[in-house]
Every structure is written in C-alpha cells, then in structure tokens.
Structure 1
Amino acid sequence: MSEIITIDGIDYTKSNKRMRYNSEFHENHGNPFSKDDLIYMCSMWDSMKKADIAMALGKTHGTVLSKAYKLRKNGLFDYYRSLGQTCR
C-alpha cells in the first residue's frame, strides 16, 4: 500500500503527490464519462494541468489519466479533441 500524507485535512499519495479520492471534490467518481466530459478532457489536455481537468470533471487524477490512455489506445482521443475544437 502506498504511503499517504495529509495536508489541511486532504489525503495525498506521497509518491506522486496526487489527491486521493475525496467525496467533497470527486462528486462524479464512479459515474461514466459523458460525451461532453470526453470532449472537454481531450480538448483541454495540452492547455491545462491534468489535476485541474480532473477537478473540473469531478474525477480523480488517476481516473482522468487512465481514461486518456484508453482513448489513445483505441484511437479516439484525437476524435474527441477535434469535436472540442469545432465548438470554439
């Protein structure tokens, strides 16, 4: 099990400094990603910190990284990114 540190009442994983699941911040934890979530995540990938994208979506940092990996693996990441660029 990874070592946990607590700062201001919020738990973080010591090794990678990622916030651990917290129901106050991760209100969409366990819910599937909507199409709008995927478009937002992919279109903001290069312009925002990944932790900020996760907070905006109400998901954990690890979940967002994992979803992006799976989308890239299946060739869908650029598809959702392009949908976000047409909305601008």
Structure 2
Amino acid sequence: MVDIDIDALDISYDGSGRMNFHPQLHPNQGKPFTEEEKEYLCKYYDIDGSLSMSYVLGRTQKSILNKISKLKRNGMFEYYRGKAHGEA
C-alpha cells in the first residue's frame, strides 16, 4: 500500500461536496469496472457508502454513484449483490 500525504495534495470538490478526480487518489478512473468491483459495489454499498468505496476502488464518488445507478436501472444490482465471490 502506498502512503499518500493527503494534506500535500491539491484536492478540489464539486458543488455537492464530492472530491473531484485526482490522479493519485483515483488511478482506476476511466477504466472499465471488473466483475469483482461490481460485486463489491452491490454487496457493500449500503455498508461502506460511496466515499469509502471511492478510496478502495480508486475511482471518484461520482463514478461509483453512476455505476450503482446504472446497475439498478439495468436490473443487475440484485444479480451482483447475490452473486457468490468468484461465481461465473
């Protein structure tokens, strides 16, 4: 794990108080979500929330929220929530 001095970073926030993209904090931004990431999002969203998940997955809160919304709209949220880890 890499130690990052958060106080030394130039971090900005959007109008809703969510952190904007920062390359050191969001290295996976713009990459497709893996199956494992989608499982994690759906299983633990209610427990961890978007801020914690953004740090864990290296993506912005906005991308986390957008992915959750898309999975719910497409009827895939419950599918990934109920999927056993590593299940095809």
Q: What is the TM-score with the length of structure 1 in the denominator?
A: 0.82
Greater RCO, 1 or 2 (C-alpha within 8 Å, sep 6+): 2
**Regions of 4+ moved over 3 Å:** none
Query: How many residue pairs end up in the alignment?
Result: 78
User: What is the CA–CA distance in structure 2 between the aligned matches of 1:56 and 1:79, rounded to whole Å?
Assistant: 22
Long gaps (5+) in structure 1: 1-7
User: What is the CA–CA distance in structure 2 between the aligned matches of 1:11 and 1:20, rounded to whole Å?
Assistant: 6
Aligned counterpart, 1:5: none
SS in 2 for 1:49: helix
Amino acid at match of 1:72: K
User: What is the CA–CA distance in structure 1 between the aligned matches of 2:75 and 2:32, rounded to whole Å?
Assistant: 19
Aligned counterpart, 2:80: 80
Out of 46-55 and 74-83, give the one that drifted further.
46-55
Long gaps (5+) in structure 2: 1-6
Aligned-residue CA RMSD (Å)? 1.5
Deviations 1:36-57 (A, max 9, x none): 0000111111111211111111
Aligned counterpart, 1:11: 12
Q: What is the TM-score with the length of structure 2 in the denominator?
A: 0.82
Percent sequence identity over aligned pairs: 34
Write out aligned runs for 1:1-88 (5 A). Answer: 8=7, 9-13=10-14, 15-83=15-83, 86-87=84-85
Aligned counterpart, 2:3: none
SS in 2 for 1:11: coil
Q: Whose helix fraction is larger, Structure 1's or Structure 2's?
A: 2
SS in 1 for 2:48: coil
